[in-house]
Structure 1
Amino acid sequence: MDIKIRKADYADLDRIMEIFEVAKKFMVSTGNPNQWINGYPQRELIDGEIAEGRCYVCLKCGGNEKIVATFCFIEGPDPTYSYIEDGEWPDDEPYYVIHRLASDESVHGITKQCIEWCAKISPCLRVDTHSDNKVMQHLLVKNGFTRCGIIYVANGTPRIAFYKKIDCNEKK
């Protein structure tokens, strides 16, 4: 099923927070109970991402457009990506980062569609995820990302860092 992606606005905030709650329950049920804890992602954080124009929502196309997923898409450089261990970034080209991708589980293929949308904006994409998030790791590799090493997020915890560079011939 196709989706439409647009920038989030303040009217979307309650629905975005609902989607994060669904995603947290999914993560726990798939063996990832430690990634989004202690209230993360906080409402204030997402409110700020909306204000900065970096939060997006995915709407199911068809009669009644409903928000089914959300993510943040942020132009680099991301300070948490400046240091990487157990590997390296393949290049220093400008990039965008996909953060906090979450779905309400009602539409199949959200990750693929989000990545394709993001690739139209930047050919170089970076993502990080928790070592327990096997589902996201699988989806990233399935969608052409390569594991590059370990980065540390703002609270000091490690994340597996991934990279994808879109070949011009790959774009449609």
Structure 2
Amino acid sequence: MHIEKAEMKDLDRVVEILRDGRNQLAESGIDQWQGDYPNVEHIQEDIEHGFAYLVHSDDHETVGAFAIVAAPDHSYDELDGKWLVDTDNYLVIHRVAIHSDHAGNGYASGLFTSVIDYVKENPNGVKSLRIDTHEDNKPMQHLIEKYGFTRVGTLHGVYRPEETSYVYEMPIQ
């Protein structure tokens, strides 16, 4: 498995992976991503700003996508909770999806391991990694906690008015 930055030529593939992720969530009864988030404009902005990444299998097939967004992330302006690290130097993992054709092959775990290891080995001033997920997305909550993130609070109505998300943080030492 390897990770690389997405380019504008990858837009359709990233959109396809995230739409598949939306469908997986719906099939699991999770009301995350069921509105207009994430949409094509979000993905275009991610690519233009260098935030979008692709996950590739060892045989170079694109199996997943995610974004790493640099601070400030205004999604967290209304955090109901308290950060472990009071800093403006953080990165946020957003919009993680592994295509259903490749689910269960360890790609999500590999993604987390790769991102965490890279940031820890090359902190460049980054003091923490942050991530959030829908209150009903138990599989993602499990994955986030498995990799050492601590739940620090909640967000209410950031992505959709009726939606609550759990927010996690991992200090980078």
**What is the Cα deviation at residue 89 of structure 1?**
0.8
Instruction: Specify which of 67, 71, 78 is matched with residue 76 of structure 1.
Output: 71
Instruction: Specify which of 41, 44, 47 is matched with residue 44 of structure 2.
Output: 47
Relative to structure 1, the CA distance from residue 21 to residue 154 in structure 2 (aligned partners, 3 Å threshold; closer, same or farther) is: closer
Give identity over the alignment, percent: 34
- Which amino acid is the alignment partner of residue 100 of structure 1? R
**Residue of structure 1 in register with 2:9 after alignment:** 11
- Which amino acid is the alignment partner of residue 74 of structure 1? V
**What is the Cα deviation at residue 151 of structure 1?**
2.1
| Structure with the higher fraction of residues in helix conformation | 2
Instruction: Specify which of 25, 28, 50 is matched with residue 26 of structure 2.
Output: 28
- 1:42 and 1:66 map into 2 onto residues whose CA distance is 23
**Residue of structure 1 in register with 2:110 after alignment:** 113
**What is the Cα deviation at residue 143 of structure 1?**
1.3
Instruction: Specify which of 134, 140, 144 is matched with residue 138 of structure 2.
Output: 134
> TM-score, normalised on structure 2?
0.84
- Which amino acid is the alignment partner of residue 163 of structure 1? E
> TM-score, normalised on structure 1?
0.84
For structure 1, the residue ranges without an aligned partner over 5 or more in a row are 168-172
Work out whether 1:151 is the aligned partner of 2:163: no
- 1:155 and 1:75 map into 2 onto residues whose CA distance is 22
- 1:47 and 1:14 map into 2 onto residues whose CA distance is 10
Query: Do the aligned residues in 2 keep the contact of 1:130 with 1:158 (CA within 8 Å)?
Result: yes
- 1:133 and 1:127 map into 2 onto residues whose CA distance is 13
Query: Do the aligned residues in 2 keep the contact of 1:98 with 1:125 (CA within 8 Å)?
Result: yes
- 2:99 and 2:53 map into 1 onto residues whose CA distance is 14
- 1:79 and 1:115 map into 2 onto residues whose CA distance is 23
Q: How many residues align?
A: 161
